[in-house]
Structures are given as structure tokens and as C-alpha cells.
Structure 1
Amino acid sequence: MKSRLEALGPLIVQICNITGTPGVSLGVLHDGEILHTASYGFQDVKRQVEPNVDTSFVVCSMTKAITASMIGMVIDEGKLDFSTQLYQIFPEYQRNDAQANITIEDLLSHRTGLASYDGLWLSSDNQILLNRSEAIPILNYSPAASALRTEFIYNNIAYEVLGQVLEKSTGSTYSELLHKRIIEPLGLNRTFYAEEPFDNNTAKSYTTLEDGSFYEVPPWGHGKNLLIGAAGAIRSSISDLLVLYKALVNAANSQVVQRSVLGAKNVFKQTPQLLQGKVGVPNQSLREYSYASGWIRAELPAIVDLFVDYAPPLLGSGSASRLMIHHQGYIAGNVGYITLFPETSTAVVVLGNSAGLTDTMRLLGQVIVETVLGNKVDADTYLNIAIAASKNTIESVNTVHKELLAGKTIDQPTRDITAYTGRYYNVTENFFIDIIAIDGRIQVAYMGSSNDTFDLIPYESDSFFWWLDFNESAKRARLPGYPKEYFILKFGCPSTSSWLRSRTDVEMGCLTWKHEFQLAGPGEVFRKKARKPYTDDFGALGIFKELR
């Protein structure tokens, strides 16, 4: 098997060249031993520095499994339970629907039913528009997209809240817990959290332009008071992750068989419960495909296509049926993929420093998994997928632009532009949208940020759109994939029937923005209020006392 893995090098390089991925490091653990490691390309394109097994990459959402593992440790100590309700830890979490009863297990498994509202925190240049104090308020007011515990809806804010649950339950910061519970016991030396400094063996972050060239962007997940840290801000290396996943797999196996004897010395606790499927995930297979706690479960052979922007081949065809536990990490400039096969103590880890033109790490991960399973890899199939997926990513952005232009019915604003200017707040007033008049035109500035300021183009009556072409989006570290509605702002408050108001009368003072597509309808309504100084210290309790 080792020679077959080594022989994958040329195919891996070809896929990376096609999809626009500057640097990759990978590792394979099998039967509990390191079977293969390799690195390709550059961790620093300008200086032509190659990555190695100790190069740290942002692992993005692979962080979730580590957060879940620390929850398991705290549960094992009796400080929490999977059935503990969120309001029991944070009394300020208050809702008037079924989601008021959200538990730790619901948060871990993305079955809260709440819309993710990622559009409220994800900004250009890998910056985050909100701080940690807004996590509970967001869960308080996020609409339910489905009934509690009935549907898988991925929610990054849920894992931010789990990080805060850890802190509240232990009295330590997330970073302190990571060091005390995982880094130090396992002897990891290339694993870091958000506020720790970068060094000269840290992969730089890149996006890929239309011509396949690389553009360096600010790193993701770095800074104080970071929202989403517990969901995606750990940096690690192949060398460290192989140690971590070996311990995790050992814990899973020993705790199933003889937990009281074999599992006692392992840092990971409650592992079988954390790896159990909690909610089904839609899939093209009759076999199991579910979400556990920071992990996805798939019974192979299966088409493993969650979050994939291309049609992957059937994985594991020709092999005996077996359980695969996996996850991915994906944000502009940072990508990762991890697959575990507990029964054979196998782990496949792939880390990269660009989202590229498609999810390259998932593609590479599948190639490596097939090789580990002893299956033949059809190189042409994977190369053709890489070519088609990369082309489709670029074309999808251009298609949205064409759709916006096709829907455009006016060239000039319906009203004087001063009718639209002002600051518009969501209901909790922790997010605002500035509409600014400059030199006879208007712009939108999300949270007043210069990084998120865009010219507005008249679209339809009292509505405008903003737009960035593919290269400009990449340079701002904005991921593609949003439909045309995301770029449209509609002004005017939702109409109410009144015999005093004519059909042509529109009450101004509101704008509607569809930033969340798990919910039906035109989008969220933001209401104009007098400008007031913005502070990063709203505080959850402060907001809700003011609103009452």
C-alpha cells in the first residue's frame, strides 16, 4: 500500500495545478501506525517555500470535532450532560418556540433546526463582522428553518456557543482548555489557537484567480474575541493530527470494548457517544449517512457528497462495506479533509492553503481513501472532475451576474438617493447596514466596514444590487456560490393593508436582504434608525434588556 500511495504523487500534483491549490500536506495512518506522509507545492508562493509534515494550516471546520471531544471530557467529569439544555447554562438564551429546549447534543449534531445566519458574520478578507458576545443573541433571534431534531442544518454559531459552554462549565478559556486537555497530554507542538502568533512554518493563505494564479489573502481565524473560533480557528499540522487522530481512534475502539480498563488513560472520553449518528443527512445512498458530533458518518460504498460542489464518484466500490467517519474544513485560503476508519485504526488527513477553484482536499482525500482501501483509482475520472468543477465555479459567478443584468428594469433610482441613505439595523441591533451617498451614487457598507463597501446599481423599483466579478471576489477572499438574490437590497417596509394607503405608496425606512437561503421568503428586514456610535461590547444581556 505504501508504494501505491507514493505513486499518487503525479496525480495529486496534476489535480492541484488544475484546481489552483498552491500547497498540500497529507498523511495516512493505518493499523495505528504512520504509513505515509507527503507534501507538494508551496506553503509560501512568493518565497517558494515548500510545506512539510510540521507546517501548520488552518483546519477550519475540522476544529468542530476537537471542540466536541472537549465537550465529551467535561461530560465525563459530570459537569455537563448531552441532555443539558442551553438555557440552563446561559439563562439569557430565551426563545418562545420549541428551540427554547435546545440541548448540548442538538448543538453538537446540527439538529437545532435554526437557520445558520452565516451571512451576518462572514466578511471580506477573512474578517468577522461580529464578536463572541453576539453568539447567544443570534441564536435567540434566528428563525427556525425546521422543527427541532428533525433535520440536519449546519450551524457554525452552534459550535461557537459550545466553546462558550466549555468556558462557562470549566472556568477556563477555550485556548487554555485546548492546551490543558489536548495539546499538552498528547505532546503536540504544531497545534495553535486563534490568538497565538504565526511562525515561519505556517502556511500562508491564498485564493485562486480565474487564470489559475494565486493571490495571498489575510489568514482566517486569528484575533482576540474571535467569533466562530470553536467552530473553525485551530491551526495544526500533519504530524500533530496523526497523533491526535490515533488517540481518538484508540479511544473509540477501547471505550466500546473495555472502556473501564483500556480507555482510562486516553485523554478522549465519551468517544463512542460522540461518534454515534444523531440526525440523518440527505444522500444518494440507502446506506447510513448521518451527522454525529463534529463528524459525518457514511457507510461505504456511497457517494460522499455533503458540501461538495461537484458530482463525486462512488467511494469504496469493490470493497467490503465499512463505516467511514469524516469531516472537511473549508474557507477562503484554508482547506482540510479528515477520514477515519476506526475498525482498522486508519486515518487520512489532507491540508491545503487555498480553497482553489473547487474543493480540492475532498477530491484528493477520496483518491487517497480509495488507494488505502485497495481499490483502483481511475486518474482520468478525477482529472476530468477537477477540470469540470473548476470551470463550473468560474461560470457560476458569471451566470449570477447575467441573471442580475437580465432582471434589471431601471437605470436610475426610483427616488432621490437621500430617501435610501441611513443606517439599518436588524431586530437585535447587533448588525447594521449603512447606505451612503457619495458623488451622486449610493453604496452599501455592511457594519460600516470599508472591506465590505460596494457600489449599488439600480435594479428594480426601490431595489439595487452590488456585484464583484470572480477575480475581485477572490481577492477579497469571498467564496463563490451565492445566488443572485444575495446581492439585491430591496427598500421599503413590508406592506400592510390599509384603505388609507394607495398601492403605489411605499413606506420607506426599511430594507430587505436575503442573506439566508434555508428560509423561504424575501429575506430579513432591517429598519432605519438614527446613527449611533458602534461598539463591540453590546453584550447579550444588554441587548435584550434594552429591547424589553
Structure 2
Amino acid sequence: MDLLKTPAFAAHVESLLKEHHTPGVSIAIVHDDTFSSAAFGKSVISSDAGSEERDCTPDTLFDIASCSKSLTAAAVALLVEDDVNFPNVKWDSKMSDLLPEDFVLEKDEYTRDVTIEDILSHRSGLPSHDSVYMGTKAKRPDTAKSITRKLRHLPLAKPIRSSHMYCNLMFTVATHLIETLTDKTFSEFLQERIFAPLNLTSTFLQPSSVPPADRDSRLACGYSYRESTSTYHAIPVFDTPEDQGAGSIITSVNDYIVYVHALMTHAPPFTQAIQKALVTPRFALPEYNDDRERLQSSTLIGLGWEIFYYRGHRVVQHDGSISGLTSTHFFLPARNFAAVILCNGDAGYPAVAALVRELIDQTLGVEPSQRLDWPEIFTRGRGVRGEAESEDADGEQKNEEEKAPSSIDTAGAKDMAELTLADQPEKERGSEEKYIPPPFPTSDLPLDRFTGEYHHAGYDSFVVGVRASPEGGEALFIDAADRCMGFGIALEFVCRAEAGGDASSPSPSEVKFLAYLTDVDECETEILEAVFVVDGDDRTDAGGKIGKARRLGINLDEDIEGLIWFERV
């Protein structure tokens, strides 16, 4: 009997969706060349905004987020395999040899030595730097080429091949490589070399490529559940050309399972050599010592894939997660089994992770008495490790408490942010009416000394403004909703500190703040350090007041020692 079609399985999945506040999920599997798919719940739920409720089906279209990375790596593999047209493209080819004008890193030895396989296995020495992506509504929107050329301005964090640091940027760089070498857009290359040969008629790069009729009837909306109000916040899917390669693939489970099956079975356009190259480990992460990893080896990093052993069987997998959406795809080569799971809730990871283990147990024929309660195990540990993004530079689990000083209570900031978002109409992110987090009262500081535009060659510009505080008075804020992964920053004054000398010396003065960075869509808040520097003779006026700020530093990437510094424009 087809597992996906049994009443017991349907009831189980519906229960998981309800528990994890996820409207819908689509699942497709293939075992010994027999395909099956099913869907549960809703792809769109009704709202006050007037959206019509739609059932989730196996043909529902989802943005699959980082599950796109395996496709990017496979696209590069097609160039590596083509000795006739691209004889210089090998996995160990130096990126700077292939893109001499564009691929330049902060240090010459990195520029000289980083290879194709380094950028596709997250071991280039460059940390995430996700905040550099400028979205389509920005004054200066990014492209794959502009992202590549920004690399020279971004601080490196580790020696090459010494650490695993998840880096979306490098997968976007890989698409610039493809576009430069083939003289085609990444979308054209995917269509000609992968989508058309596999007859993937429901797979696209960017939602704008989806035919209008299908966009209106088949595209799932993402949802983030608000615990404070027990409501769903709709997060529409929109174009993010700036991060192509790292994400932005729109597909259905019925389509994407065909791609995964072709890669697993070496079907054209893929070969055994391509599959072997993609799933050969390039880096090993440390073991995890908790129940979620029971019966499982440590994770190995391939090219666009992660590999681990579960009950002694090799599993090749990659997850995906963006605001409002969670996804995964995996295959067991020795068992000729693969699956794709796509859902439209950003709280859905525990459900998806549990379903992966349950499907594998079923395929392996594990006796019911020997199976673990995976839903309970992953629910108990829902706060950590969805995929590699939640690991630090050495692959160690992050402690949520380490993200903020222990003496600081972040609850108030998060509640205020959620309240502000709840009062706003649902809209496409990046529109003119942007989310701005609630600021904090900033004592009696002369705020005009800090306001203005600050620029970094890699991170572009932050504009520091002033707005009324809910707690009275005015406060500083930064609206960064025009970035791909949009956010806002509310600044809370901490102290003023002399970096050196006394009040009459030309040494700089630092004014320190807590920066409450709140994600535009999910309302998740983290506390960062922010420092304004007042330089030279303008440090103080005759009355000893703070002079005009010249620089702004914020620790925007946790793998970087120190702050990212923006200079006043």
C-alpha cells in the first residue's frame, strides 16, 4: 500500500501541521522508480485581506529556498563535465583564473587560492555576510555580478578550508561564473540544460517566471505564526534576483522529485561522475550530542548537499528555510529512494525533520518497536539546528543565550516589534510602506549628531533616522527593509566612552548603543553592539556636548571579530 495515501499517514501529517502552526505541506517520494505524491492542508489560508483559501496539492508551487543550492552545484557540474567547451573548468580551478576582473577577495592569498569546490562547500573562509544583499526595491539593487564584485570589501573570518561557514553569497557567485562562461542568463542555462531535458514544466527561477495563471492558482504563500496573537502573518513570495543560486527556485514536489531521481540514478543530463562529485565529502562537522541526532553520524559537506549516515545507510540531503517556508529534499543511493517535502510555515522544521526520519524508517523496513518518536524528539529541540545556517564557524551548535548579553531582557523588544507588525497591513516586503521597528528612548542625547547616511563598500548604506518612541521622546532607528533579508534596527543608548585622552585631546570618542535588529517578516530580534565614533576636533563642542558622528560600527556578522564600519557620507 502507498504510505502517502493511507488515512493513518494523512491523520499523522495533519496533526503535525496543527502542532507546528504550518498551513500546508506537499510530499513526493520515489522508490525503485515508482513515484508517489500527496499533499495536506492549505497553500493559502483566508485572511482579512481577502485572500481566497486554497488546498495544498502535489502541484502547488513553493519557493524552496536553500534546496536550490543542489541545483546550482549540478549546473556547475555540467560545465566541469564539458571538456570540449569548458576545458579550463574543473572542481579545483581557481575562481580568480575564471573571473579575473570580478572575483577578488579581501586578501591576495584567498583571491589566488579559492577554487570552485571551495565556494560550493562553504569553506572559502568567507562568512555569511547575508546583510549585503540589496533587494529589488533598493536604490542600488544587487545582481550576481555586483555581489561577486562586493567580495573584495568583505572581511574574511577563517583560513581557507579550515572551517565550514555557511555562505549564500558564494552560490550566487557560482551563477555569475555560469553566466560569464556561457553567455547565458542563469535562468536560460537551467532551462536549456536541466529543466527542458527532464521535462520540468513547473520549475522556475524567480516567481515572476511563473505563468500568471499558475501564479494566481498554484503559488503557495508563506506564513509566520505569531505566538503573541495566535495568528498567521502572510509572507508573499517575491523575486530576489540578487540571491539567485543560493535560493529563488520555484517548483512543485511533483517536478522536483524528477530532478532528484535523475541525479540519484545518473539519468541524463546527469552522469555517475557528476553525482559522485557532488556528494563526495569536502568537510566534516562535529557530532551533535542530543536526541535529534540519535542513530545518525556527524554531517559531511558536499557540493550543494550534506551527507550523513542514518542506521548505517548513507543519506544525501539539503534543507531550505526562508521567512514563511520550510523545505527539504534527500535520497538514499543504495536504496534507490528519494523524497521532496515542501511546506509553507517557517515553524515547520520539526515536522519536516520528523517526516524525513519516518519515511526513511519505513523504506528501511524498521520494525515499529525499533522506531523512535521523532515528532516528540524534534519538537523538544525545535529551538536549534534546522540546517547549516544555524551552525557556527566550527560546526558547533549555537546557544541561543549567547546571542545577547545575559543581563539584557530581549522580551520587551520582541513584543514591541511584533505589536508594531501586527498593526500593519500585510504587504509585499520592499514596498514603499516599510516596516520600522519601535525605537527605544535615547535619554537626552542630541540625536541630530548621529543621523545621516553611513556607507560601507560591501554593505552599501545605512540611513540613521529619528522617530517618535512609544515610550516617549525620540530615538534612533535604521530602516534596512530594502535588503533581500530585510530588517530594522532600533538603537538604545548605553554609554559614552573616551577611546583615549581627555576631553581636550583629539582622540576619538565612542558612543555605544544596543542595536535591536528585528527581521522584517518573522519579528525575531537579536541584540547587537553598535558604536558611533566622533573624531578629532569635532568630538565635543564648547559646552562639552557630543560632536557629530563620523563612523558607525555594528557587529553584523558573528563570525567576524570586531564591527563592520560604515563611514558617514
TM-score bracket, normalised by the shorter chain, equals: 0.7 to 0.9
Q: Which runs of 4+ in 1 moved over 6 A?
A: 122-129, 390-393, 504-507
1:504-523 map, 5 Å: 508-521=549-562, 523=563
Question: If the length of structure 1 is used for normalisation, what is the TM-score?
Answer: 0.77
* Equivalent position to 2:219, from 171, 188, 202: 202
State how 1:56-67 maps to structure 2 within 5 Å: 56-67=61-72
Could you tell me which amino acid in structure 1 is paired with residue 156 of structure 2?
A
The aligned counterpart of 1:49 is 54
Cα 1:268–1:56 change in 2 (3 A) is: farther
How many residues in Structure 1 have an aligned counterpart in Structure 2? 475
1:348 aligns with 2:335: no
What are the within-5 Å matches in structure 2 for residues 202-281 of structure 1?
Answer: 202-210=219-227, 211-220=229-238, 222=239, 226-251=241-266, 266=270, 270-281=274-285
Distance of 1:131 and 1:85 partners within structure 2: 22
User: Aligned partners of 1:465 and 1:73: how far apart in 2?
Assistant: 48
| Alignment-derived partner of residue 537 in structure 1 | none
Cα distance in 2 between the residues matched to 1:282 and 1:19: 28
Q: 1:528 offset after TM fit, Å?
A: 0.9
Alpha-carbon distance change, 24 to 342 in structure 1, aligned in 2, over 3 angstroms:
same
Q: Distance in 2 between matches of 1:199 and 1:349?
A: 23
User: CA separation in 1, counterparts of 2:236 and 2:385?
Assistant: 26
Residue 456 (1) aligns with residue 469 (2): no
Aligned partners of 1:115 and 1:142 also within 8 Å = no
Query: How many angstroms apart in 2 are the aligned matches of 1:243 and 1:18?
Result: 30
Task: Work out whether 1:283 is the aligned partner of 2:287.
Answer: yes
Write the distance in 2 (CA, Å) between the matches of 1:192 and 1:4: 26
Partner residue, 1:28: 29
* One of 453, 477, 486 as aligned partner of 2:521: 477
Please give the alpha-carbon distance, in whole angstroms, between the structure 2 residues aligned to 1:181 and 1:227.
22
Larger mean CA deviation between 357-366 and 49-58 belongs to 357-366
CA positional deviation for 1:414: 6.5
- Where does 1:314-463 land on structure 2 (aligned, <5 Å)? 316=311, 321-356=312-347, 358-375=349-366, 376=368, 382-383=375-376, 385-386=378-379, 389=382, 403-405=407-409, 412-413=442-443, 415-426=445-456, 428=457, 431-438=460-467, 441-446=474-479, 449=482, 452-461=487-496, 462-463=511-512
Structure 1 residue 340, shift from structure 2 partner = 0.7
SS in 1 for 2:328: strand
For 1:58-207, what aligned pairs fall within 5 Å after superposition?
A: 58-78=63-83, 79=86, 80-92=89-101, 93-95=103-105, 96-100=107-111, 101-121=113-133, 130-194=142-206, 195-197=208-210, 198-207=215-224
The answer to whether the Cα contact below 8 Å between 2:5 and 2:38 also exists between their aligned partners in 1 is no
Say if 2:568 is the partner of 1:528.
Answer: yes
Code of the residue aligned with 1:245 in structure 2: it is: V
User: Following TM superposition, by how much is the alpha carbon of 1:404 offset from its aligned partner in structure 2, in angstroms?
Assistant: 3.6
Gaps of 5+ in 1: 252-262, 301-315, 496-503, 530-548
Give the SS at the match of 1:492. strand
The superposition leaves residues 161-219 of structure 1 with CA deviations (integer Å, 9 ceiling, x where unpaired) of 00111111111111101110111111111111114132411111211111543221121
- Aligned twin of 1:18: 19
Higher relative contact order (CA 8 A, sep 6+): 1
CA distance in 2, matches of 1:150, 1:62: 25
Residue 515 of structure 1, CA deviation: 1.2
5+ long unaligned stretches in structure 2:
47-51, 290-295, 387-398, 414-439, 497-510, 537-544
TM-score by length of 2: 0.74
Given residue 389 of structure 1, which amino acid in structure 2 is its aligned partner?
R
Contact kept? 2:29, 2:338, Cα under 8 Å? yes
Q: 1:401 to 1:159 in 2, by over 3 A?
A: same
Displacement of 1:479 in angstroms is: 6.5
Letter in 2 for 1:27: A
Name the amino acid aligned to 1:99.
Y
Equivalent-residue separation in structure 2 for 1:364 and 1:28 (angstroms): 12
Q: Which has the higher helix share?
A: 1
For 2:416, the equivalent position in structure 1 comes to none
Alpha-carbon separation, structure 2, partners of 1:416 and 1:74: 58
Contact 1:357/1:389 (CA < 8 Å) preserved in 2?
no
Post-superposition Cα deviations, 1:212-238, rounded to whole Å, max 9, x if no partner, equal 432211215x15xx1111111101111
Distance 2:514 2:269 in 1: 58
Q: 2:530 aligned with 1:489, yes or no?
A: yes
Residue number in structure 1 paired with 2:437: none
Deviation per residue, 1:95-118 (Å, 9 max, x gap): 434311211111111110111101
Shift of residue 21, structure 1, vs aligned partner: 0.6
1:116/1:385 CA distance change after superposition, 3 Å = closer
Q: Which amino acid aligns with 1:294?
A: G
Gap change, CA 1:434 and 1:55, over 3 Å in 2 = same
- Judge conservation of contact 1:125–1:217 (CA < 8 Å) in 2: no
Give, in angstroms, the shift of residue 365 of structure 1: 2.1
